[in-house]
Amino acid sequence: MILQRLPGLAISLLLTGLLIGCSSAPEVAYDQKVDFKPPKTFTWLDDSPLKYSETDYKVSPFLEAHLMEATRSELESRGYRYVSMSEGPDFAVAFTFGARDKIQKSRYPSAYTMSSAAPGAYSFHGPGAVQTTNYVEGQIFVDFFAVSTKSLAWQISDSGKIEEMSGEELRQAVNELMADLLSDFPPEG
């Protein structure tokens, strides 16, 4: 994948031609009373299904279209069928995106020496150094609403560090993002 993966399930998100590498495993929640098994139908919650939580970061105008295209492709590959809201879909899909500034601190020893008493053994000397890195962390939520009950049926969220990316690389990253996020959809149960 395009980003450095961390242990566990890694995903990517995007913002203004930027990519987010995950910092934790995605969080999934769903209503166990809902039947998710295909064949089911889906649509978008509204004409513009991407909403932004409190963020001052400029978001690419292509983000919403890429998310919709990738999500539709993933769901259709699993046996779901896209329909308009007027056709009475089973689910309506929406996205929420937000970003915030973060600081990461790393501590490093200031010097290494090899021990003569134990070949191959190293010891650290000195107080060490601290490196701080400022970065932007983004978070995305993908929500499936049961249209018949107008309630949240399934949700996945994840967050991670944003890295610069644009063009076709951005489109591919969105495709990989949605493949990762929807890899366990529909839920078993």
Q: Identify which of 133, 153, 135 has the alpha carbon closest to the alpha carbon of residue 143.
A: 153
pLDDT tens sequence across 22-44: 556 889 999 999 999 889 999 99
Secondary-structure breakdown of the chain: helix, strand, coil percentages, each rounded to the nearest 5: 15, 40, 40
pLDDT tens sequence across 95-129: 998 888 888 887 766 665 555 666 666 665 666 77
- The whole-model pTM stands at 0.75
